[in-house]
A and B are shown apart, each in its own frame.
Chain A
Amino acid sequence: MSTTENLVRIAQLSCGAEYSGIQNEIDSAVKQVNAVMVYPEVDIGDIEAIEEEFGLKVASPDLKLLMARAKSIVTGKVHVDAVFIATCFRCAEAAIVRSEVRRYINEKTGIPVISYSFTERTTAGTLLTRMEALTTTARRKSLLAREKQNGLTAGIDSGSTTTKAVVMKDNKIIGKGWVPTIKVLESAQEAFNNAMKEAGVTRSDIQALGTTGYGRFLIGEFLKADLMQEEITVNSKGAVYLADKQKGPATVLDIGGMDNKAISVMDGIPGMFTMGGICAGASGRFLEMTAKRLGVGITELGALALKGNAHNVKMNSYCIVFGIQSLVNSLAGGSTPEDVAAAACHSVAEQLFEQQLQEVDVKEPVIMVGGTSLIQGLPKAVEELLKVKVIVPDNAQYIGAVGAALLASGFISK
């Protein structure tokens, strides 16, 4: 993020943020990405008429205000570059409004939108990646339109569980590195060295470097990266590039070690996206723990799950503690490891389906990326729930690194 980049105007359409005591956190996150929050002007008449005009009747006046503000953006009364829609977590009425307003703005204007449900525990740190993605989509469209990698570039993806690196030359991956994340900098250096070694190049040969993931700033500053970018835009780009679906709509799903991303993409640029991060039971960590309990490696869990039937195992909870307990009880009750592996994949997929996919428009092709997409039982479970074919491109686990290397090639001329 650079404060020299142009200021982005984000419209805040929210209900309850100030009463939850998190307005300062929102403002702080926005400031860090050199953006400013604006609150579209409406008059009383707009609010009174909005239910009829928008077609949704709600009881809470603040939600009427939210809808009226959305209308003032769509009708061009106010100019903004991006929209942040936020309402209280667990408010049913607000969840309906949030979802419909998000769709309304995106369909009518094409302005990038992110929606978020907050609690009083929401912090600027939690919001930062989302705001960074939102402002990047708004201000860097030309960079994100890049479809080919040029020259010799590298990308490093510092994830919560693993660190990945690739070296690319003339639109081809020529070196890869994948190591567990232990110490952020050392792991990144190791993965990067492995990728350079395989490619037969040195750091001085690399024309541009991009970093992404949790450790992007630390690594990026240390290695003097040309691009330090959050994983939502980078992964979107990497996914449609590797799946060769750069034109038209696509949906990118990435179940990570710590959080999940679901992104609606159009021509390789994210339009709507959501990042889940409240429950570990919906993350790759749940599958890791299941594999450990079954005594198999995480790379073997997927093949095992393909042979099993999730419906043979009754899971009483999605929780990473109680859900695992259900699986253990099933094993004790005679369930096969195959069925238990399938049930674990189904549980994670179902949570993504139930808790996150309402926040985006799922359009085909659906592309699953990240390390968990290689656990074959997981894409299969997502296919069963969504009733669509899921694409897992080659090198899906390197998605962030590939996206970073691809986008970094836009910096070579500089």
Chain B
Amino acid sequence: MKVFIYPTNSLILSDLVERFGHEPLAIMQEIGKKVRTQGLDSPPMNMTPEDPKFGLKYAAVEVPSGVRGRMSLFDPLLSKAEAAIIVIEPVISFGCMGCARTNELVNFLLRGKKIPLLKLDYPTNEEDAKMFVYKISEFLKSLKPAEDKK
């Protein structure tokens, strides 16, 4: 299945999802497309003033342009998501999304999708960390493998 991960640039979450035979939906994919697309010229991510306009699908013009620009990146991931894992209050080194308002909106939209959703706190000690990985693995095992879906 296509599993949305939050924080959406978490390499650990992305790796876990892959290990259990699913496809992680991570922001790196979308940013990668922007960086590799030729003909755009707004470094470092090749976003242009048109991108926040795509974000109008999710939020009106009174919402800051940075939120809407980020939502334009999240759009393909949100529309493909068949399941999601959300880690609450992770440390920055685990994965970091820059804008709190965008994070709130993304989390809200995921809840509204009525897809299998795992929400769990970021662990602060070794015992919790083991439980953290166990819960994620059990959740991923419960999902239909990506191959079956095809």
Which residues of A are at the interface with B, using a C-beta cutoff of 8 A?
15-24, 27, 44, 47-48, 58-62, 64-65, 87-91, 93-94, 118-121
Contact = CB atoms under 8 A, between A and B. Distances in A.
A121 B49 contact: yes
Sorted from nearest, which 4 A-B pairs have the closest CB atoms? Answer: A16-B66, A88-B64, A59-B100, A62-B98
Interface residues of B, number: 31
Contacts of B2: none
B45 A120 contact: no
B63 A90 contact: yes
B69 A19 contact: yes
Interface string B87-116: 000011100111111000000000000000
Interface of B: 41-45, 47-53, 62-70, 73, 91-93, 96-101
B66 A20 contact: yes
A191 B49 CA distance: 40
Contact of A21 (B48, B92, B96): B48
Residue from A15, A87, A120 whose CB has the most chain B CB atoms within 10 Å = A120
Contacts of B99: 15-16, 19, 60, 62
Contact of A20 (B69, B96, B97, B98): B69
A44 B92 CA distance: 7
B9 to A, nearest CB: 11
A21 B64 CA distance: 12
Contacts of A16: 64-67, 69, 98-99
Contact of B42 (A15, A21, A47, A89): A21
Given A16-B66, A120-B53, A120-B65, A23 B96 contact: no
A94 B98 CA distance: 12
11 contacts: A18-B45, A18-B69, A19-B52, A20-B66, A21-B65, A24-B43, A61-B97, A88-B65, A91-B67, A91-B101, A94-B64
Contacts of A121: 49
Contacts of B65: 16, 19-22, 88-89, 118-120
Contacts of B70: 19
Contact of A44 (B45, B64, B93): B93
B121 to A, nearest CB: 17
A18 B47 contact: yes
Given A23-B42, A60-B100, A89 B47 contact: no
Residue from A60, A89, A94 whose CB has the most chain B CB atoms within 10 Å = A60
Contacts of A88: 64-67
Nearest to B61: A119
A47 B92 contact: yes
